[in-house]
């Protein structure tokens, strides 16, 4: 793969055997070629290629379901590679499935705890935005989910981007059925607080999922920065906010 370096002529399309296209990394070029689709589908020598494609498709489906459930929060805080990064994780997870054969492995049989600590915005890790320890927990029996935030001094305990005047936390809990493509999601946001040296009292964020669930349960927390202008909140760029998957609770 080659990168176009001419800043004035940015090619798209095909010239002879070279394809020119635009990606997140700029304008690139690559040679045409490769093995035909029919051969990949039928040639025994490409069996592993076919199985790998099946597993990538399974991981992609799980990623799409997960991202769709969290779409409102992803719009608040995510980098431009979050979709591909989640898909990579899902494929990695299904590869830990110790039960099913290659090509038939499932995300639900793999180690979903590999997602613990997943950052939706790699430019702003949650632990970098909030410099204060807090506690959280999930009760599978009752379905109660809790995040307990201690009292904090925003200007000291929160690293806010330029132009921030206010902030708020937003939390999500989800029960995900990857087999049936169904999701139960509950979400809650705290009230906006000034980003200054005024103490914010301890805050409890409580969410409720169905009790006695047999599905994987996910707990996520984000922080959103705003600028108040003429009394109205103006969210800053999603690229300045933080959003992290705190924990995955797996049914025993």
Phi (first) and psi of residue 35, to 5 degrees: -90, 140
Query: How big, in percent rounded to 5, are the helix, strand and coil portions of the chain?
Result: 25, 35, 40
Count of structural domains, the chain: 2
In whole angstroms, what is the distance from residue 222 CA to residue 240 CA?
11
Is residue 74 in some structural domain?
A: yes
Distances (CA, A) of 131 to 62, 203, 223, 240: 32, 16, 12, 16
Helix 47-69 and helix 82-94: axis angle, to 10°? Answer: 120
Is residue 37 in some structural domain?
A: no
Angle 93-185-58 from CA coordinates, rounded to 5°: 30
**Domain shared by 67 and 182, yes or no:** yes
Is residue 36 in some structural domain?
A: no
User: What DSSP line would sit under 143-183, residue for residue?
Assistant: -EEEEEEPPB-HHHHB-PPTT--EEEEEEEEEEEETTTTEE
β-partners of residue 249 are 217
**Domain shared by 76 and 12, yes or no:** no
**Domain shared by 150 and 124, yes or no:** yes
**Domain shared by 27 and 51, yes or no:** no
Count of Cβ atoms closer than 10 Å to residue 115 Cβ: 19
Is residue 12 in some structural domain?
A: yes
**Domain shared by 207 and 185, yes or no:** yes
Residue 224, helix vs strand vs coil: strand
**Domain shared by 13 and 71, yes or no:** no
Note the pLDDT of residue 76: 93
Note the pLDDT of residue 231: 84
Burial class (CB in 10 A: 0-12, 13-18, 19+), 245: buried
Range of the domain at 11: 2-31
**Domain shared by 78 and 123, yes or no:** yes
Instruction: Give 95-118 pLDDT, tens digit per residue.
Output: 999 999 988 999 999 999 999 999
200, 227 in Cβ contact below 8 A? Answer: no
Is residue 38 in some structural domain?
A: no
Is residue 40 in some structural domain?
A: no
Is residue 21 in some structural domain?
A: yes
**Domain shared by 119 and 142, yes or no:** yes
Residue 246, helix vs strand vs coil: strand
Is residue 79 in some structural domain?
A: yes
**Domain shared by 100 and 26, yes or no:** no
Note the pLDDT of residue 233: 85
Note the pLDDT of residue 54: 86
**Domain shared by 121 and 197, yes or no:** yes
Instruction: Give 48-87 pLDDT, tens digit per residue.
Output: 667 777 888 999 999 999 999 999 999 999 999 999 999 9
Report the relative pairing of strands 242-249 and 26-31 from DSSP bridges.
unpaired
**Average pLDDT by consecutive 10-residue portion of the chain (252 residues)?**
52 61 66 58 61 86 96 94 96 95 93 97 96 96 97 97 96 97 97 96 97 97 95 89 97 86
**Domain shared by 63 and 152, yes or no:** yes
Of 94, 118, 108, nearest in space to 250 by CA: 108
145, 219 in Cβ contact below 8 A? Answer: yes
Cα 116 versus chain centre, distance: 11
**Domain shared by 20 and 115, yes or no:** no
Note the pLDDT of residue 199: 97
């Amino acid at each position: 793969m080659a990168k176009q370096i001419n800043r004035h002529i940015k090619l798209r399309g095909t010239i002879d055997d070279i394809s020119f296209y635009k990606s997140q990394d700029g304008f690139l070029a690559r040679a045409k070629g490769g093995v035909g689709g029919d051969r990949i589908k039928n040639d025994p020598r490409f069996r592993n290629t076919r199985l790998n494609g099946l597993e990538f498709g399974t991981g992609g489906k799980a990623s799409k379901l997960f991202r769709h459930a969290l779409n409102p929060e992803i719009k608040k805080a995510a980098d431009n590679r979050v979709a591909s990064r989640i898909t990579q994780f899902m494929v990695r997870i299904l590869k830990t499935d110790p039960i099913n054969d290659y090509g038939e492995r499932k995300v639900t049989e793999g180690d979903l705890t590999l997602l613990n600590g997943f950052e939706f915005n790699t430019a702003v890790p949650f632990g970098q935005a909030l410099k204060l320890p807090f506690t959280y927990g999930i009760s599978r029996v009752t379905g109660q989910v809790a995040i307990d935030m201690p009292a904090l001094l925003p200007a000291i305990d929160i690293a806010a981007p330029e132009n921030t005047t206010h902030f708020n936390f937003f939390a999500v809990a989800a029960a995900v059925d990857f087999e049936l493509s169904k999701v139960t999601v509950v979400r809650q946001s705290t009230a906006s607080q000034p980003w200054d040296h005024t103490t914010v009292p301890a805050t409890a964020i409580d969410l409720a999922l169905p009790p006695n669930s047999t599905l994987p349960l996910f707990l996520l927390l984000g922080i959103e920065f705003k600028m108040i202008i003429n009394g109205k909140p103006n969210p800053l760029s999603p690229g300045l906010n933080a959003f992290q998957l705190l924990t995955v609770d797996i049914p025993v």
